[in-house]
Amino acid sequence: MGSSARIAIPDAARLVDAVLERSTGKHSSIHGESHWQRVAAAALALLPETPDADPALVFLFALFHNSMRLDDGYDSLHGPRGAALARELRGGAFGLEDAEMDILAFACEEHTNGGVGSGPTVGVCWDADRLNLWRVGIRPDPRLLSTEAARSEQRIAWARRLQQEHFAWEELYRAFGLSDGRGPQSSEEGQEGGIA
């Protein structure tokens, strides 16, 4: 897709603050803010190998997908609630065309249903989330990953080590190129991925 020019995130810090202010699930040790940050970090490793994925939409997915969980148990409506929060904040903290909003909403609403994303943006979103299944002791199944970038044994092993890392939003949106209008930063670690 590559349409980040039609996505405006004028102040990523303000957007993160707005989501955290409204989030019902930010403090969870399993699905909370640190997980969202690791999803963003995993996505940064997948984006260079999935050039048609839209980095800004992937960043937004990482931020919204579990933001409205009620608890860590079965909560089948947390994705739709995350999409609803994104729709609520659209036009203020960030701007999306209707087509991009539809992609973000679909990615959030369907991310727990076990499907494989047919498009590169949704694929990177779902793969970045699934690579973080290690946090609950589940090894990601390559058959349930959407992108070639995520399916490699090396990437899956890397994702296990990712669970020990801690990230700050500032370094993430800088790496996504959201702080200065540039695109995502290419990783200096090659296949290993990470934040430069």
Torsion of CA 75, 131, 47, 11, to 10 degrees: 40
Name the CATH superfamily for 4-192. Answer: Hypothetical protein af1432 (1.10.3210.10)
32-50: pLDDT as tens digits: 999 999 999 999 999 999 9
Q: What is the pLDDT of residues 94-121, one digit of tens each?
A: 999 999 999 999 999 999 887 888 899 9
Residues 99, 185: Cα–Cα separation, whole Å? 25
Per-residue pLDDT, 178: 84
Torsion of CA 124, 128, 129, 134, to 10 degrees: 150
- Give the span between the Cα atoms of 80 and 70, in whole angstroms: 12
